[in-house]
Structure 1
Amino acid sequence: MTQESQPLLQVENVAKEFGHVTALEDVNLKVGKGEVLGLLGDNGAGKSTLMKILCGLHRPTRGQIIFDGEPVQLHSVTHARSLGIDCVHQDLALIPQLNIYHNMFLQRESLTGGPLAILNNKPMKEKARECLRDIGVNIPSVDVPVEQLSGGQRQAVAVARSVYSNSRLLLLDEPTAAMGAKEGAMILDVINRLRAKGEVSIIIIAHNYGHIFDVCDRINLLQNGRITFDKATADTSIQELTDIVVNEYRNVAKQAYA
């Protein structure tokens, strides 16, 4: 494989066991540089466990993670972020009472004043505006507390924060969950803008097949802890995925009543 075609992320035979429960078994997954991968699967399929491994919250029981050509052991969320892997969870990890730019620079604040350092707000405001503008988010003022934003705007701020921190791989856990059509469309537009730039790879966990087909280059299906489907979005359809899932339900039902 040439350097140009080398994936940013490779997951090889990764398994995760919690006592006698196997959450993941021999998972193999690749994400190219600048690629947007959709990860589908029912509740309990192992999607969240895999994301927690990739962002450093869990250690795999076995298997290997290769990031930018180098095997890595992700010891913590901080370690994963230092490599350029960040996750936007459904809870977003924003502080509602803080304004937008303070949330975006949380734990990365710009300071001035030597030993008695104080917050240097002006450059943080300017950078926050610039980052939001670059990904197509129109919020009139970055001085607004996050608690006054809509759900879609909060999600956009969380994504912008990760992009600003120079993430190379962004993990989005149900980014349009519980949103109306208008807000969901805004987040999909943000993802498509990032996809067009090609500067960050993205894995999206979602249940909405339509959203996945709107923004993803490729789709993986996770079933019972294994990747059972891997195709370019252009080479598959919602109907094909639906048929696979329905057949799985039928097989489970047959086994249950056998």
Structure 2
Amino acid sequence: MNPTTPVEDTVSDQSPHAFSGREPVLQARGLVKRYGRVTALAGADLELYPGEILAVIGDNGAGKSSLIKALSGALTPDEGEILLDGLPVRLRTPIAARDAGIETVHQSLAVSPSLDIATNLFLGREPLRPGLLGSVFRMLDRPRMRAEAARHLDALGIMTIQNPGQAVETLSGGQRQAVAVARAAAFGDKVVIMDEPTAALGVRESRAVLDLILRVRDNGSPVILISHNMPHVFEIADRVHVQRLGRRVAVLDPRACSMTDAVAVMTGALDPVELPEEAHAPGAVR
């Protein structure tokens, strides 16, 4: 994708209106989380639909992190419910979320630099050798891991990494991010959550990661993108969820709403009801 391509040519060809009336893949209803006298989530809602990139934006203290932690199993809400494919689920731990098909790429990446790329992709899911070598001696099936790692990297068009046996510590920041994204895409068969994926990257590496997120979506995994970078959000998001004071205040259509208005809604300088009707993206369940 050419960095000079106009924004309207780089967003999804699928209109946000296509999500209206469809069953969300992932839904949060009325999530509440309190820490003593501090309320991090005050009845937060969210819907993620098949085939979309949903951006979540909000000022510091808006509850974005708590919302994502609830969806990824890192915290248990005090009230509310989470539904996956329309069915209530209890995501008490990150492992439970992973088992349900929800993968998260954290801002800290959570890769092991001293291990190779293939091992990082299968971290915690390492396949064992067939027969006695695996069942008795617990030997890892490294040839399979490297072959499948190469397949996953190729499926996402990650051409800058040629050797799955290469140590992650030898990779650039963008390549490490690509490894983390590839791991999430490989196992996140329901949802992939990405927390500030371009925060520590330069312009060129950010461009590659944005292209990677689009490929993850196009390969069939809906994506929740948390980002403070408004140009990135408006370039690739299908809908924009605005979080403020612990709850959702608006879901915007990035094709019909300006970045200035989105920031104004996010900070409370603009009431969402003051925006024209077409600026509001459909699909929010009331």
Whether TM-score is above 0.5 comes out as yes
Distance 2:47 2:167 in 1: 38
Residue identity opposite 1:54 in structure 2: L
Look up the match of 2:198.
176
Which structure dedicates a bigger proportion of its chain to strand? 1
1:248 Cα deviation from its structure 2 partner? 3.2
Write the letter of the residue equivalent to 1:157: V
Alignment partner of 1:64 is 2:81: yes
Q: 1:208 aligned to 2:229? A: yes
Q: In structure 1, what is the Cα distance between the partners aligned to 2:217 and 2:128?
A: 33
1:11 paired residue number: 28
2:95 to 78, 83, 96: 78
Q: Deviations over 1:93-126 (max 9, x none)?
A: 1111001001111121122224123222111111
Contact 1:13 / 1:63 at 8 angstroms: preserved in 2?
yes
- Which residue of structure 2 lines up, in the alignment, with residue 254 of structure 1? none
Shift of 1:44: 1.4
Q: Which SS does the other structure have where 1:116 is aligned? A: coil
Rounded to whole Å, the distance in 2 between the matches of 1:129 and 1:52 is 30
* SS across alignment from 1:5: coil
Task: Confirm or deny that 1:159 pairs with 2:159.
Answer: no
Contact 1:100–1:146 (CA under 8 A) maintained in structure 2: yes
Per the alignment, residue 118 of structure 2 pairs with: 101
Give percent identity, aligned residues only.
39
Moved over 4 A (4+): none
Superposition pairs of residues 1-258 of structure 1, within 5 angstroms: 5-112=22-129, 113=133, 114-138=135-159, 139-197=161-219, 199-245=220-266, 247-248=268-269
Alpha-carbon shift at residue 42 of structure 1 (Å): 1.3
Letter in 1 for 2:45: N
Shift of 1:51: 0.7
What is the Cα deviation at residue 246 of structure 1? 5.4
| AA of the residue aligned to 2:185 | V
User: Over aligned residues, Cα RMSD in angstroms?
Assistant: 1.7
Q: Label 1:77 to 1:20 Cα distance change in 2 as closer, same or farther (>3 A).
A: same
2 CA distance for matches of 1:175 and 1:246? 22
- Secondary structure at 2:136 match in 1: helix
Cα deviation, residue 235, structure 1:
2.4
CA distance 1:243–1:166, shift in 2 (3 Å): closer
Aligned-pair CA distance for 1:247: 4.9
Question: 1:81, 1:167 within 8 Å by CA — same for their partners in 2?
Answer: no
Alignment: residue pair count: 246
Does structure 1 retain, via aligned residues, the 8 Å contact 2:242–2:265?
Answer: no
- 8 Å CA contact 2:73–2:92 kept in 1: the answer is yes
Q: Which runs of 5+ in 2 are unaligned?
A: 1-18, 271-286
* Shift in alpha-carbon separation, 1:247–1:64, aligned structure 2, 3 A: closer
Q: Give, in angstroms, the shift of residue 211 of structure 1.
A: 0.5
**Equivalent-residue separation in structure 2 for 1:60 and 1:176 (angstroms):** 28
Instruction: Quote how far apart the aligned CAs of 1:58 are.
Output: 0.6
* TM-score for both structures, normalised by structure 2: 0.82
